[in-house]
Homo-oligomer: A and B are copies of this chain.
Amino acid sequence: MAVSQSPRWRRRKEERPAEIVAAALAVFAEKGFAAARVEDIAARAGVSKGAVYLYFADKQALFRAVVAEVAPNLERIEALAAQHQGDFPGLVRALLPQLARTAGESRLGAVAKVVIGESRNFPELARIWHDALVSRALTLAAGLIARAQARGEVRDGDPRAYAFGLVAPLVMGLIWRETFTPVGAEPFDLLALARQHAETALEGMLKRRAA
């Protein structure tokens, strides 16, 4: 007999880590850090639990890899901001919707939710997330605003607070989507929110034009 059985599994040293990280992202997003079972992550990656530990030292290392996977999405935004030529309103009108789109596509919001929820138990994760993403994004925005103030486009006021006011509704919308929409709350159209908020915020921040 012995019809050449297809092997029960294959050795795929190269692609395993990425597959495991993708699976981990999904399971962490769904369950949070503590409640995510390594065995479920392994199963979703089509691998046994033991195999996960061939590539990652422990569960936290796995989560760090997930954060590293999601973080680069910010860079698209940073690039966009850096090469922008026009005035402040044009920048905001381009950036906010782009941010809404990027965040909507990636699982950024889901990971953010996990970080927020587990920050006290795993401060290390909160620090990584803060340094790699949140702080950078806020500094970027505050810098753009300060420059616009220097050019006389934007009113006086704490640039960090302005930056907060600019992005918080979007972040809030993301968290809303991850937290309340699944339990039956009315969903938000992130993109529409971003567009209306961009206009409102600009109206609030810009100096009145000389008539």
**Is A137 in the interface zone, CB < 8 Å from B?**
no
CA distance A204 to B92 in the complex (A): 14
Cross-chain contact B196 with A161 (CB below 8 angstroms)? yes
**Is A71 in the interface zone, CB < 8 Å from B?**
no
- A41 CB, nearest partner CB in chain B, Å: 15
Chain A interface bracket (under 10, 10 to 19, 20 to 34, 35 or more): 35 or more
**Is A48 in the interface zone, CB < 8 Å from B?**
no
CA distance A48 to B95 in the complex (A): 55
**Is A50 in the interface zone, CB < 8 Å from B?**
no
**Is A53 in the interface zone, CB < 8 Å from B?**
no
**Cross-chain contact of A169 among B165, B185, B192 (Cβ < 8 A):** B165
**Is A119 in the interface zone, CB < 8 Å from B?**
yes
**Is A30 in the interface zone, CB < 8 Å from B?**
yes
Cross-chain contact A196 with B123 (CB below 8 angstroms)? no
Q: Annotate A24-64 by CB proximity to B: 1 below 8 A, 0 otherwise.
A: 00000111101100000000000000000000000000000
Q: Annotate A137-176 by CB proximity to B: 1 below 8 A, 0 otherwise.
A: 0000000000000000001011011101100110111010
- Which of chain B's residues has its CB closest to A162's CB? B200
Which A residues from 156 to 211 make CB contacts under 8 A with B?
Answer: 157-158, 160-162, 164-165, 168-169, 171-173, 175, 178-180, 182-185, 188, 192-193, 196-197, 199-205
> Can you offer 25 A-B residue contacts whose CB atoms are under 8 A?
A31-B120, A32-B120, A34-B34, A113-B116, A113-B119, A114-B117, A119-B178, A119-B182, A126-B180, A127-B184, A130-B180, A161-B192, A161-B193, A162-B200, A164-B169, A164-B172, A164-B193, A164-B197, A165-B169, A165-B196, A165-B197, A165-B200, A168-B172, A169-B169, A202-B204
10 further A-B contacts with Cβ under 8 Å, apart from A126-B180, A130-B185, A199-B204, are A34-B35, A127-B183, A130-B180, A158-B192, A161-B196, A161-B197, A162-B196, A164-B173, A165-B200, A168-B171
